[in-house]
Amino acid sequence: MWGHGAQQEYADLVARTLDLARADELGRVRAYVTRMIDLLGAIDLPVICGIGRPAGVFDRLFGGTGRIDTLCALEDARAELDQLVRLTAAALDPLLRLRDRLSEQARRIEATGGDIEAAALAAGFLADHLSITQPALSQRFLERAMSLTRSVVQLRGDDPLRAAQAEQPLHLIAAIQEAVLVAMPAWLSTIAALTATASGARSPNPTEAGELQHRLQTILQQLKT
């Protein structure tokens, strides 16, 4: 059937692309990043450093659950964040391979779309050319031209979805490279020193606490982007 092979190839490529978009690698890393965001967002450094208002009884009963505002809770969070950093770093190479596979799928889909479009134009030309001498054959080519054209319209309409699928690992890779592998370890090292300092003779001053809070917010923004 005229152009049917290209249509079938397109359907197979789309199915494989959907499978890649649901890959375990993406799910695991998303879960790691989500957990990091939850932990970091719950940390109340001003209170931990003794320069903020602790949550009252009402806050703790209504909405304060999960707040990290003590040195003990901060140390527990730091240990889990350190574990999440290691797990996420180990997942980077599989994520890079997934990105490359998605890019290859997108390239092949684009090439197949060109084949379908060319087949549709050719079928339309043949339908016109044979309309008088072989009307029955002309009708079959016309039907193929219409079917192939619908495939092209669908393919072009799905371009934004495929672009979004390809961007998912890109966003995660950027978050890992910028926040998890660089900013987070340095911040966690400072937090480890903070827990030791705050439990000793001197607590961090407002400037030190403010700088830590600023770095924390920067990491959160990078992870959420």
Domain boundaries, the chain: 4-224
CA dist 33 and 223 (Å) reads: 7
pLDDT at position 64, please?
Answer: 52
- Looking at residue 70, the DSSP 8-state letter turns out to be S
pLDDT at position 147, please?
Answer: 95
Cα-Cα-Cα-Cα torsion 10, 13, 19, 23, nearest 10 degrees, comes to -140
How confident is residue 48, by pLDDT bands cut at 50, 70 and 90? confident
Q: What percent of the chain has pLDDT over 70?
A: 91
CA count, 13 A, side-chain hemisphere, 185: 11
CA dist 129 and 115 (Å) reads: 21
How does pLDDT run across 165-195, given as a tens digit for each residue? 778 888 889 889 999 999 999 999 988 887 7
Whether residue 102 contacts residue 95, with contact meaning beta carbons closer than 8 Å, is answered with: no
Whether residue 197 contacts residue 169, with contact meaning beta carbons closer than 8 Å, is answered with: no
CA dist 81 and 185 (Å) reads: 9
Alpha helix stretches (DSSP H) within 176-225: 184-198, 206-224
Q: Enter the tokens of residue 89.
A: 């770093």
Q: Which of 158, 21, 16, 176 is nearest to 98 (CA)?
A: 21
How confident is residue 58, by pLDDT bands cut at 50, 70 and 90? very low
Residue with the two structure tokens 């997942």: 91
3-state secondary structure of 68: strand
The model carries a pTM of 0.77
How confident is residue 53, by pLDDT bands cut at 50, 70 and 90? low
What is the 3-class SS of 146-163, one letter each residue? HHHHHHHHHHHHCHHHHH
pLDDT at position 196, please?
Answer: 74
The most confident of 34-38, 174-178, 211-215, by mean pLDDT: 34-38
- Distance between the two ends of the chain, CA-based, in angstroms? 47
